[in-house]
Structure 1
Amino acid sequence: MIELVHTSAAGPDALGAAYRLLEVVFEGDFGAEDWEHSLGGMHAFAWEGDTLVGHGSVIQRRLVHNGRALRCGYVEGVGVHPDHRRQGYGAAVMGALESVIRAAYDLGALGTTEEGEALYRARGWLQWTGPLSALTPDGVVQTPQEAGAVYVLPGVMPLDLTAPLTCDWRDGDAW
């Protein structure tokens, strides 16, 4: 079962379960800053009975593309417990998040690992091939280390995937 709920209504038990799940999914490479990025928007919880087996969230960010600041539904904290992979939970979580993106944002975006690319490509997400940067307190800073890892889900706004794309600032990983 997929439960779609805002952070403010999720409750500490569900949020705690999601944090612990993502620690397992990312094999210890998931911490407080990563979790902070996942909060403040809509969460898709995949439950098998009383056990949380999958999670993802979509939060609002601003991306600058071709001189326009776009409202972006940015996907964070996506993962399925290793014992429950390849059973459709990842697709169900993403389907719920994509419905939020299509209803409320100009586009969707996310940063992925190599392991996640196949899921996103199969769902129509497109790899950003243009230069990436972040609008930081020190100005616009290029983020070439993210090349190839940023994907977008086009909405109503036409996108040039080869043009520069700039994200808003946050602590931790920019993308």
Structure 2
Amino acid sequence: MTEAPPNTSTTSAGTEVRIAHTSDLDTATLKAARTLLYDVFDDMTTEDWEHALGGLHALVHEDGELIGHASVVQRRLLHDSRALRCGYVEGVGVRADRRGRGHGAAMVAALERVIRGGYDLGALGASDEAADFYASRGWQLWRGRSWALTPNGLQRTADEDGCIYVLPTGSTPLDLDTDLTCDWRDGDLW
């Protein structure tokens, strides 16, 4: 069996997941990724797309067409009086007619490898439909209160409670029942 290059892995359907930084993606690939995510998510915004940029992208192509996208970007989360380097997962989506074939799991596995190797923890805001998927992969529900450090100071983000999942990397002890604060960004804070 031939081993995949270090920036690729293979899905259960036999297609490859390619990992690339935003700066290494050409305009056509970025446009295809944005179009895919707008097709997958009815409520996708310009800010949501921007949140997915500036980090590493996991991409799945089939017959030359992009069918899956996920990314991990660096953020700072405050926990227990510490600023943690977080690999924050954004823009996970698979084209509707290609779901259920392991593409999403393969993309997230590639990003989990990046998170475990380079961050204090992973985090993401999960939809109700995706919560079981992440929990089955070892992501843990944050049970404490959520906050955001905004230009106007600390702001409670109670609507996000029960939707934030973290992936401990073992490098930092986490108390899932305490407060967790994210850094500021436009659009959805989490």
Normalized per residue, the structure richer in helix is: 1
Counterpart position of 1:43: 57
Q: Does 1:157 align with 2:172?
A: yes
Q: Does 1:173 align with 2:179?
A: no
Spell out, residue by residue over 1:73-99, the C-alpha distance to the aligned partner (whole angstroms, 9 max, x if none): 000000111101110000001011111
- Name structure 2 gaps, 5 residues minimum: 1-15
Q: How many residues align?
A: 174
- Name structure 1 gaps, 5 residues minimum: none
Q: CA deviation at 1:48?
A: 1.1
Counterpart position of 2:37: 22
Q: Does 1:9 align with 2:44?
A: no
Larger Rg: 1 or 2? 2
**Amino acid in structure 2 at the alignment position of 1:122:** S
For residues 117 and 52 of structure 1, the distance between their equivalents in structure 2, rounded to whole angstroms, comes to 24
TM-score by length of 1: 0.98
Q: CA deviation at 1:49?
A: 2.0
TM-score by length of 2: 0.90
TM superposition outliers: structure 1 runs of 4+ over 4 Å: none
For residues 56 and 145 of structure 1, the distance between their equivalents in structure 2, rounded to whole angstroms, comes to 24
**Amino acid in structure 2 at the alignment position of 1:10:** L
For residues 168 and 83 of structure 2, the distance between their equivalents in structure 1, rounded to whole angstroms, comes to 15
Counterpart position of 2:11: none
Q: 1:101-116 maps to which residues of 2 (within 5 A)?
A: 101-116=115-130
Q: CA deviation at 1:105?
A: 0.4
Percent of residue pairs identical: 56
